[in-house]
Amino acid sequence: MKRICVMRVAGTNRDYDTMEILSYLGAHAETIHMNEFLRGRKSLLDYDAFIFPGGFSYGDRIRSGAIWAKQLIYKLSDDFRKIADEGRPILGICNGMQVVVEAGLIPGMEGISEYPEAAMGVNVSSRFECRWVYLKNFSRGSCLFAKEIPRNTVIRVPVAHEEGRFTLPKKKEKELLRTFERNDQIVFRYCDEKGEVANGKYPLNPNGAFSDIAGVCNPEGNVLAFMPHAEDACFYYQHPDWTRKGLKGEMGGILLFKSLLSYLK
């Protein structure tokens, strides 16, 4: 059976929630502290897929996700580069998105690098944003984490972050956006309930992300950086209006995890 590693460090707080979803789906997953890899007790190469969960790794010192990303690049360099080169699935959620962006896995044009090609900026509102938002799936099929989500589907998920604004170098924004669209790298955009793109309007776009990007993958489609908390939008009772709307069963967030397990099978 394929093995999934939910990695954690000091400050992560959504590893348990993520494990609950994976256990519910019958996945063979383990929560592993980064120190186990740093001390040689565990090897990244023993796992088939990786999830970097949400939280505040190392207290978000320097920048959100920066310390964790640099540990991976410099202290686990050979194995980390190997799992990336082999195309093993990697999902970064919220703080995890910040990690994979800082590590250069996203947008992934030049591979792992100490100089990221993108950055996660402070929310335009200059405050911590904790609210429910709508996302529209724009993937044409390249991203493995969206395989179970029909194109143009709208899902509702919560955000909880202060540095969730996906940004690109100003001089390259238009060029990179065209490349993203050509490569099918834009997976989710912030939108309204009907699927109309937010166009930067607050609070539909809660952080001011460039081109309303909430989820972006690498050109190969095996790495997804996803800012909202998919693990908090998997079951009807997690939604704020489940009693009013009479919601039942599973919800949109669980489809990312189902897509991963379907790929691993």
Share of the chain above pLDDT 90, in %: 93
Report the phi/psi class of residue 187: left, alpha or beta, with left for phi > 0 and alpha for psi in -120 to 50. Answer: alpha
Which pLDDT band holds residue 109 (cuts at 50, 70, 90)? Answer: confident
Tell me the CATH number at 48.
3.40.50.880
Decide which of 166 and 84 is more confident: 166
Query: Is the pLDDT confidence value at 62 over 90?
Result: no
When the pLDDT of each residue in the chain is averaged and rounded to a whole number, the result is: 95
User: How many separate domains does the chain show?
Assistant: 1
Residue-level pLDDT at 115: 78
Question: Could you give the CA distance from residue 36 to residue 40 in angstroms, rounded to a whole number?
Answer: 6
Mean pLDDT of 49-69: 94
Query: Is the pLDDT confidence value at 78 over 90?
Result: yes
HSE-CB of 98 using CA atoms within 13 angstroms: 27
Which residues are catalytic, by number?
94, 229, 231
CB 86 within 8 A of CB 80: no
Q: What is the pTM of this model?
A: 0.96
Q: Distances from the Cα of 86 to the Cαs of 67, 80, 205, 247, in angstroms? A: 24, 10, 34, 40
Q: Which of the residue ranges 19-23, 25-29, 114-118, 182-186 would you say has the lowest mean pLDDT?
A: 114-118
Mean pLDDT of 116-121: 92
Question: Could you give the CA distance from residue 129 to residue 151 in angstroms, rounded to a whole number?
Answer: 27
What angle (nearest 5°) sits at the alpha carbon of residue 183, between those of residues 197 and 255?
A: 60
**Residue spans of alpha helices (H) in 173-253:** 173-183, 242-245
What is the per-residue pLDDT across 235-252, written as a single tens digit (0 to 9) for each?
A: 999 999 999 999 999 999
Mean pLDDT of 80-91: 95
What is the per-residue pLDDT across 134-164, written as a single tens digit (0 to 9) for each?
A: 999 999 999 999 999 999 999 999 999 999 9
What is the per-residue pLDDT across 10-42, written as a single tens digit (0 to 9) for each?
A: 999 999 999 999 999 999 999 999 999 999 999
Query: Is the pLDDT confidence value at 225 over 90?
Result: yes
Residue-level pLDDT at 16: 95
The one-character DSSP state at 36 is H
Neighbouring CB atoms inside 10 A of 211's CB total 20
Query: Is the pLDDT confidence value at 4 over 80?
Result: yes
CB 215 within 8 A of CB 227: yes
Which pLDDT band holds residue 116 (cuts at 50, 70, 90)? Answer: confident
Give me the domain span that covers residue 128.
Answer: 3-264
